[in-house]
Amino acid sequence: MSKALIYGLLLSILMVTAPHADHLPLWVSALCAALLAWRAYLTHTGGELPKRWLLLAITFASVGGILIEFHTLFGREVGVTLLILLTTLKFMELRGPRDAMVLVYLACFIIITNFFYSQSIPTALYLLATLLAIATTWVHLHGQSIPLKPRLRIASVLLLQAIPLMLVLFVLFPRVQGPLWGLPQDAFASSGLDDKMAPGSFIRLSLSEEVAFRVSYAGQPPLREQMYWRGPVLWEFDGRTWTPGATLAPAAPQFTDTTQPIDYSVTLEPHNKTWLFALDVLDRISIPARLTYDFRILHKERVKARLRYEARSHLGYRANLHENERQLRRALQLPPSLNPRARELVAEWRNQTVGNTGGTDDAAVVRAALAYFNRQNFRYTLEPPPLGLHSVDDFLFETRQGFCEHYASSFVFLMRAAQIPARVVTGYQGGEFNELGNYYIVRQSDAHAWAEVWLEGQGWVRIDPTAAIAPGRIERGLSAAVTDFAALPFMARNPPQWMRKLRLNWDTLANRWNQWVLGYDTERQFAFLTRLGMESATWQKMALNMMAGIGLIIALSALFMLRHLLKRRPDKVQAAWLKLCRRLAKAGLRRAAHEGAQCYAARVAAARPELAETIRDLAARYSALRYGTPQDEQMQQEFIKLIAKFRQG
């Protein structure tokens, strides 16, 4: 085992495990790094490998550590951790080519585990580079004498030649919809919107530039202020936090007077929650999902992989004109004895509106509340001051600085205090238009909370108190609305045009990648193959096509690779000489197999003295051209001409 080979293996393993350092337990990363460094040191100094008992001790100790850390030895995270740990330990007993081969295979396997965590374009490129490093080491293992440069070339050629066939396999290999065995629950981390809302929870989200989902509209996109993507609906308030509360007898929602239908498709990033996002209010959806009594859409299972669905919504609607009594009572519940000043304020509005119209005018109360937000010098900010026990009072009368959750929360509180059924709705609002890909990007920073009130004769009506304070937030987005830019991530402020363009370009690419590479599943495969002209694609057909494709490409590669061997450059000089020999053979002077040019010429000269001079000259020329160096084009031409002119007697 040469040192260079061991360094190559070390590099391969290091490259392939490095991205895992992000999520492995710290002590495992440190141990692996130490082991690799130790091996590199031993290789450098030519020292003895550690004794077997020591390795066994380290192995048992670290497996024990993992058992303590994870409380199990099964599951994906544990599996990945164990795999990486045992691979680095394998290094410590790397002695022969057999061990090296095992390490190469392990390195390939670890590449796959990286895809559990990221399948983005940069990850793909990085792991392609890693694969090249592995392949170069692999070639080294079987050709120790080859210097680095040709080794790298051979590995690159292998990799490049593999690409066409890989594409055929990727497109045509019949996709089976997984999973084959149960995925452990710990498999995915949650991200994005939660089904709880407390002061501060949306501010955290607003700092994240992560993509929540992407939308493309079939026709004209709706106005920005109509882009309310409904998520969890929150009913219960404990004075500080809003929660969905217990689900009551679920009755199907009723929509009447629906207008403005709009069709769109959503590609939802995995968020490990069951809810899906749609514009208010949903009419139909292409995947199995349930519409709840409060118009949320629930998927049958947690969304753990990127999910694409087509949907139709009605932007104009009346929802649940005849709402269930129990629901309405639920929409009025408030924690008793909190926020007395807010209750006073509402009572005052009630009196005013009663005075004006003579009846209970809920709509007037709503208007009064919005006007209050609008006039009382409220500020829309990412850095609101903390609130006390009477959080709504503190916000309405003291701090008057808040983010969407503060406004939604206090607005719904005011409404309920005024005996108007109301609830908090969370979700996303707006999005960034990507003109390159003609779709909208909805990011975590577009997370939003608003309110819905139930009015007699109108049903549930959306009211966004944020729009009363910061209309820019709804019309143009977050950066247009907040005054304290500094708290926002750089790209969420107003980046230079070229940078914005670059980011949109990149997102378009990422979207295509997501749709066509990562999202290439059974359904896409059938759709794609049908578009390619394969009528009624079945997996048998695909398998046949795949076989044919594989055969064709292997044959083409073989032709391409062996073309130098197949194409035997005809040697003009030799051809001419053989022609001469054939002519003489007809005259009864066959050249024997062992006879060289000179000997043959001598024999011919003896038999046919009249040809002696010519044949000797030709033989001499032939020898010179065949065996002499360098090759002279002019001499060759002359020789061929002389042979052509040759007449026996």
Q: Verify binding: residue 112, another protein, rule CB under 8 A.
A: yes
Instruction: Identify the burial level of 138 via C-beta atoms within 10 angstroms of its C-beta, where 0-12 means exposed, 13-18 middle and 19 or more buried.
Output: buried
Distances in whole angstroms, Cα of residue 434 to Cα of each of 209, 219, 501: 15, 15, 9
Q: Which residues contact 263 (CB under 8 A, 6 or more apart)?
A: 217, 218, 219, 310, 311, 312
Q: Is the four-CA dihedral 430, 433, 437, 442 of positive or negative sign?
A: negative
Least separation in angstroms between CB 176 and another protein: 5
CB under 8 A: which stretch of 41-49, 104-112, 494-502, 638-646 binds another protein?
A: 104-112
Number of residues that bind another protein (CB under 8 A): 54
**Residue among 93, 91, 66 at smallest CA distance from 80:** 66
Q: Distance between CA 252 and CA 201 in Å, rounded?
A: 30
CB under 8 A: which stretch of 178-186, 219-227, 373-381, 467-475 binds another protein?
A: 178-186
Q: Which one is catalytic: 390, 404, 446, 507?
A: 404
Q: Verify binding: residue 115, another protein, rule CB under 8 A.
A: yes
DSSP character for 557?
Answer: H
Q: Verify binding: residue 517, another protein, rule CB under 8 A.
A: yes
Q: Verify binding: residue 189, another protein, rule CB under 8 A.
A: no
Helix H or strand E encompassing 518: none
Q: Verify binding: residue 119, another protein, rule CB under 8 A.
A: yes
Least separation in angstroms between CB 601 and another protein: 22
Q: Which is nearer to another protein, 225 or 523 (CB)?
A: 523
Q: Verify binding: residue 626, another protein, rule CB under 8 A.
A: no
- Of 23, 142, 284, 641, the one binding another protein (CB under 8 A) is 142
Q: Which is nearer to another protein, 34 or 129 (CB)?
A: 129
CB under 8 A: which stretch of 200-208, 323-331, 558-566, 626-634 binds another protein?
A: 558-566
- Of 91, 138, 395, 439, the one binding another protein (CB under 8 A) is 138
Distances in whole angstroms, Cα of residue 293 to Cα of each of 248, 326, 469, 534, 625: 9, 12, 30, 43, 95
Q: Distance between CA 231 and CA 216 in Å, rounded?
A: 19
Q: Distance between CA 522 and CA 544 in Å, rounded?
A: 17
- Of 222, 519, 549, 596, the one binding another protein (CB under 8 A) is 519
Q: Distance between CA 472 and CA 221 in Å, rounded?
A: 19
**Residue among 267, 272, 274, 276 at smallest CA distance from 189:** 272
Neighbours of 306 (CB within 10 A): 17
**Residue among 395, 194, 235 at smallest CA distance from 329:** 235
Q: Which residues contact 23 (CB under 8 A, 6 or more apart)?
A: 77, 117
Binding mask 297-336 for another protein (x = CB under 8 A): --------x-------------------------------
Q: Which one is catalytic: 140, 314, 406, 448?
A: 448
CB under 8 A: which stretch of 50-58, 376-384, 554-562, 608-616 binds another protein?
A: 554-562
Whether 404 is a known active-site residue: answer yes
Q: Which amino acid is at 581?
A: C
Report the relative pairing of strands 447-455 and 422-429 from DSSP bridges.
antiparallel
Q: Verify binding: residue 103, another protein, rule CB under 8 A.
A: no
Whether 406 is a known active-site residue: answer no
Q: Verify binding: residue 94, another protein, rule CB under 8 A.
A: no
Q: Verify binding: residue 18, another protein, rule CB under 8 A.
A: no
Q: Verify binding: residue 83, another protein, rule CB under 8 A.
A: no
Instruction: Identify the burial level of 179 via C-beta atoms within 10 angstroms of its C-beta, where 0-12 means exposed, 13-18 middle and 19 or more buried.
Output: exposed
Structure tokens at 238: 């404990």
Q: Verify binding: residue 116, another protein, rule CB under 8 A.
A: yes
Q: Distance between CA 271 and CA 517 in Å, rounded?
A: 20
- Of 131, 233, 268, 331, the one binding another protein (CB under 8 A) is 131
Q: Verify binding: residue 564, another protein, rule CB under 8 A.
A: yes
CB under 8 A: which stretch of 38-46, 172-180, 346-354, 370-378 binds another protein?
A: 172-180
Torsion region of 230: left, alpha or beta (phi above 0 gives left; psi -120 to 50 gives alpha): beta
Q: Verify binding: residue 148, another protein, rule CB under 8 A.
A: no
Q: Verify binding: residue 82, another protein, rule CB under 8 A.
A: no
Q: Verify binding: residue 127, another protein, rule CB under 8 A.
A: yes
Q: Verify binding: residue 152, another protein, rule CB under 8 A.
A: no
Whether 581 is a known active-site residue: answer no
- Of 173, 485, 490, 506, the one binding another protein (CB under 8 A) is 173
Phi, psi of 602 (to 5 degrees): -65, -40
Q: Verify binding: residue 109, another protein, rule CB under 8 A.
A: yes
- Of 74, 170, 485, 490, the one binding another protein (CB under 8 A) is 170
Q: Verify binding: residue 272, another protein, rule CB under 8 A.
A: no
Q: Helix 612-627 vs helix 597-607: angle between axes, to the nearest 10 degrees?
A: 180
- Of 33, 58, 162, 581, the one binding another protein (CB under 8 A) is 162
Q: Distance between CA 151 and CA 137 in Å, rounded?
A: 8
Catalytic residues: 404, 448, 464
- Note the residues at the interface with another protein (CB under 8 A): 101, 105, 108-109, 111-112, 115-116, 119, 123-124, 127, 131, 135, 138-139, 141-143, 145-146, 150, 154-155, 158-159, 161-163, 165-166, 169-170, 173, 176-181, 183, 305, 517-521, 554, 557-558, 561-562, 564-565
